[in-house]
Amino acid sequence: MHHLDPDRLVLLALSDEPGLDESDHLDGCAACRHDLAALRDVAGIGAELQDLRDLPAPPEHVWSAIESEIAGPARRRRPRRLVPAMAAAVAAVVAVAGAVAFFRAPAEQVVARATLTPLATVPAGAGGSVRVLADGQMRIEVRNLPLTTGFHEVWLIDPDDLTRMVALGNLGDRPDEVLPVPAGVDMNRYSLVDVSDEPHDGDATHSGRSLLRGTLTS
C-alpha cells in the first residue's frame, strides 16, 4: 500500500479536500491519519498566529530546506522523523500566507465595529454597520435611510457627554462610504457612532436629528 505523499499531506492539512482515493486510504491507514492530524495541529496553531499579524517571512534557506526535505529520496519510504520537517513546512506555509495577507491588505484589519440601529422616530427598516480599520479609515454602510432635503452626516460622540462630538464627514448617494477618523480621536471615549440628517443651513453643528446610532466595540 502506497502512503500519501508528504507534500500532499501538507496540502490536505492546510486546506485541500481529500479525493475519494485519498479518503479511502486515510480510512484504512492509521499512519497517514496520524500524520495528517499532526500536520493539522500545526496548521491550526499557524492559523491562530496569523491573527497576531506580526509574522516574519521565513528566510530563503528555510524554503530550500523544506523543498529538499519534501522532494528528497525520503519520499517513497516516509520515515517517522520526516514528520517534524513536514510540520515545519506547514507552519512556514501558514506563516507566509499570513504575512502575505497582511502585506496585501493591511487596511482590512478591523479594530472596532458597530451595528447602527434606527432611533425611535426613524422607520425600523433603516440601519447600518461600521468597521474601523487599523489604518484609521471608517467603512460605513447604511440602508433605508429616510430621504433628506439636506444630507446625512456621520459623527463620533462621547456617550458620557452627548454634547462632545467629532464630525467625520457626509454620506454620499452610495450605500457605503469610507471616512477617515481624524488622528488623535480616542475611539474608546468617542465610541458612539451617530448618523444625522443635516439641513443645508451653513451650520456645522449637529442638527439634533439623529437617525441611526451604534456603539463601537473592539
Q: With respect to Zn ion, which residue has the nearer C-beta, 83 or 112? A: 83
Q: Provide the mask over 11-30, with x wherever binding to Zn ion is found by CB under 5 A and - wherever it is not.
A: ------------------x-
Q: With respect to Zn ion, which residue has the nearer C-beta, 32 or 211? A: 32
Contact stretch for Zn ion (CB under 5 A) within 32-40, 78-86, 91-99, 159-167: 32-40
- Eight-state DSSP code of residue 105: -
Q: In whole angstroms, how close is the CB of 82 to Zn ion at the nearest point?
A: 13
Q: In whole angstroms, how close is the CB of 81 to Zn ion at the nearest point?
A: 16
Among 9, 10, 14, 32, binds Zn ion (CB under 5 A): 32
Residues of span 90-149 touching Zn ion by CB under 5 A: none
3 lies in the site for Zn ion, by CB under 5 A: yes
Q: In whole angstroms, how close is the CB of 84 to Zn ion at the nearest point?
A: 18
Contact stretch for Zn ion (CB under 5 A) within 1-9, 15-23, 163-171, 205-213: 1-9
- Are the CB atoms for 213 and 202 separated by under 8 Å? no
Q: In the structure grid, which three cell numbers stand for residue 156, read together?
A: 463620533
Q: With respect to Zn ion, which residue has the nearer C-beta, 5 or 158? A: 5
Q: With respect to Zn ion, which residue has the nearer C-beta, 30 or 147? A: 30
Distance CA 111, CA 181 (A): 12
Distance CA 7, CA 35 (A): 12
Question: What stretches of 51-189 show up as alpha helix (H) in DSSP?
Answer: 60-71, 82-104
Q: In whole angstroms, how close is the CB of 104 to Zn ion at the nearest point?
A: 36
Q: In the structure grid, which three cell numbers stand for residue 158, read together?
A: 462621547
First to last CA, the chain: 52
Contact stretch for Zn ion (CB under 5 A) within 2-10, 42-50, 57-65, 72-80: 2-10
Name the residue among 139, 34, 51 with its Cα closest to residue 98: 51
The residues that bridge with 215 in the sheet, in sequence order, are 192
Q: In whole angstroms, how close is the CB of 3 to Zn ion at the nearest point?
A: 4
Q: Which amino acid is at 20?
A: L
Q: In the structure grid, which three cell numbers stand for residue 127, read together?
A: 440601519
Name the residue among 206, 53, 193 with its Cα closest to residue 128: 193
**Footprint of Zn ion (CB under 5 A):** 3, 29, 31-32
